[in-house]
Amino acid sequence: MPHDRTATLPALDPATLPWIEHTDYPEPFRALVAGAMRRRIGDATGLRNFGVNLVRLPSGSASSQRHWHTKQDEFVFVLEGALILVTDAGEQVLASGMAAGFPAGVADGHHLINRSGRDALYLEIGDRTKFDDGEYPDIDMIWRAVGDGDRHVYRHKDGTPY
């Protein structure tokens, strides 16, 4: 029996949301994440304390530059395909149905890379704690909260702006 996929908030069908391809990384750090697309499910449902994105990561792309957060937790759950999780300990495969969590304040840079021949689909979930900062261990970049703690700027590790 086919299901009716129409929904009224608080429910929704993620397929009704647009795919957003966006990075605010400064050059030359954008190329690594080219093609990554997100559907902002948490925003669409009005969540304020944490974000939920459905991410489509094409073959050859990464989720982000390798990073870690000072105050925000992150969690990923692979829905389709296989991804390489890269951390300070090395690489491991995250297959469909597997998950990984990254506690705030743990200085273990991480990101996901799609080295398969097809798109991968995963959920990324993170909290929205204000005044979070980010560190990028492999490149000359840091991420710092400014103003009311909701906005961020990228800087070189010596503090100079991009």
What is the rounded average pLDDT of the residues 53-75? 98
Domain ranges for the chain: 30-155
Task: Tell me how many degrees the CA angle 134-153-100 measures, rounded to the nearest 5.
Answer: 30
Tell me the C-alpha distance between 94 and 153, whole Å.
31
Q: Is the pLDDT of residue 3 over 80?
A: no
| pLDDT value at residue 121 | 98
Is residue 56 within 8 Å of residue 34, measured between CB atoms? no
Q: What is the DSSP letter of 16?
A: G
Q: What is the pLDDT of residues 122-157, one digit of tens each?
A: 999 999 999 999 999 999 999 999 999 889 999 999
Nearest to 95 by CA among 77, 109, 111, 74: 77
Q: Given pLDDT bands bounded at 50, 70 and 90, which one contains residue 1?
A: low
Burial of 38 (0-12, 13-18, 19+ CB in 10 A): buried
Q: What is the DSSP letter of 161?
A: B
Which two three-digit tokens encode residue 41? 């499910």
Q: Given pLDDT bands bounded at 50, 70 and 90, which one contains residue 82?
A: very high
User: What share of the chain in percent tops pLDDT 70?
Assistant: 99
Across the chain, mean pLDDT equals 96
Tell me the C-alpha distance between 95 and 82, whole Å.
4
CATH architecture observed for domain 30-155 = Sandwich (2.60)
Residue 49 half-sphere exposure toward CB, CA atoms < 13 A = 0
Q: What is the pLDDT of residues 28-57, one digit of tens each?
A: 999 999 999 999 999 999 999 999 999 999
- The SS3 assignment for 116 reads coil
Q: Given pLDDT bands bounded at 50, 70 and 90, which one contains residue 6?
A: confident
What is the rounded average pLDDT of the residues 91-107? 98
Tell me the C-alpha distance between 110 and 65, whole Å.
8
